[in-house]
Amino acid sequence: MSKERGSFAARHDFDALPLSPDVDVRCAQFSEIAALSEMARRLVPGVQIGAMELATYFAFDPQSILTFTRNGNLLGGMAFMFLNDRGHDALLLDDICLTAPDTRHLASANEAVSAIYIWAIAATGRGIAGLGKAAAHLRQIRFHGADCYAQPSTVAGREIMRATGFEPISSFQPDLWCYERPWHRQPMRMPGAIIQARSFADARH
């Protein structure tokens, strides 16, 4: 995952990023797949997937690719793998091909999404401000129970990870980072204060 420009000097929880009014974020359209594929190959080191392969995964799950636009101009996109329980285990055990994942590891429409792997973030200029709306996309009921994972491939990618609450974790998968959703975290233990994670989750919707 990567970005071209911009800075994340201030730390914001991924689920608390502001919703920028300047950038529109929506599920991709098939006609945009080729441009998104080219942008990903140009901006994200190591990305080798072509437009045809990307279109295959888009057809499997149209919610897995988002576009970031401003005034109709494509600024970037974000691609996810929505993993089922089998895929979640395979990710942690380094038993999944992340460049060409087997669809048996991906959650179908009638399966629970166990984990969200952020395949790539490719954005130019203001496009990175679309992350807040992308996070909102992942707060839908279908994705609510899934923590997010990523493998940053650039210094800028690590900057985004650190700034949005991701942390490196121990796993067989090299350099895997995880963002634990706020409603999965243990309540803060403070005298005279009980903070319930479930209440926080409800407030986000």
pLDDT at residue 29, as a whole number: 92
The answer to whether 40 and 67 are in contact (CB under 8 A) is no
The answer to whether 80 and 105 are in contact (CB under 8 A) is no
The two three-digit tokens of residue 83, written as one number:
């993993």
pLDDT at residue 68, as a whole number: 94
DSSP string covering 1-66, please? Answer: ---SS----S---GGG----TT-EEEE--GGGHHHHHHHHHHHSTT----HHHHHHHHHH-GGGEE
Look at residues 143, 131, 144, 140 and name the one whose alpha carbon lies nearest to residue 18: 131
The two three-digit tokens of residue 75, written as one number:
């600024």
Statement: residue 172 has pLDDT above 60: yes
Name the pTM for this structure: 0.81
19 — pLDDT class (breaks 50, 70, 90):
very high
Q: Which amino acid is at 116?
A: I
pLDDT in tens, 59-89: 999 999 999 999 989 998 899 999 999 999 9
The answer to whether 69 and 56 are in contact (CB under 8 A) is no
CA 99, 28, 8: angle at the middle one, nearest 5? 75
Q: Using the structure block, give the residue that is written with the tokens 């919610």.
A: 63
- Which of 25-29, 50-54, 126-130: highest mean pLDDT? 25-29
Ramachandran class of 198: left when φ > 0, alpha when ψ lies in -120 to 50, beta otherwise:
alpha
Look at residues 135, 121, 97, 118 and name the one whose alpha carbon lies nearest to residue 45: 121
Q: How many CB atoms lie within 10 A of CB 53?
A: 14
45 — pLDDT class (breaks 50, 70, 90):
low
11 — pLDDT class (breaks 50, 70, 90):
low
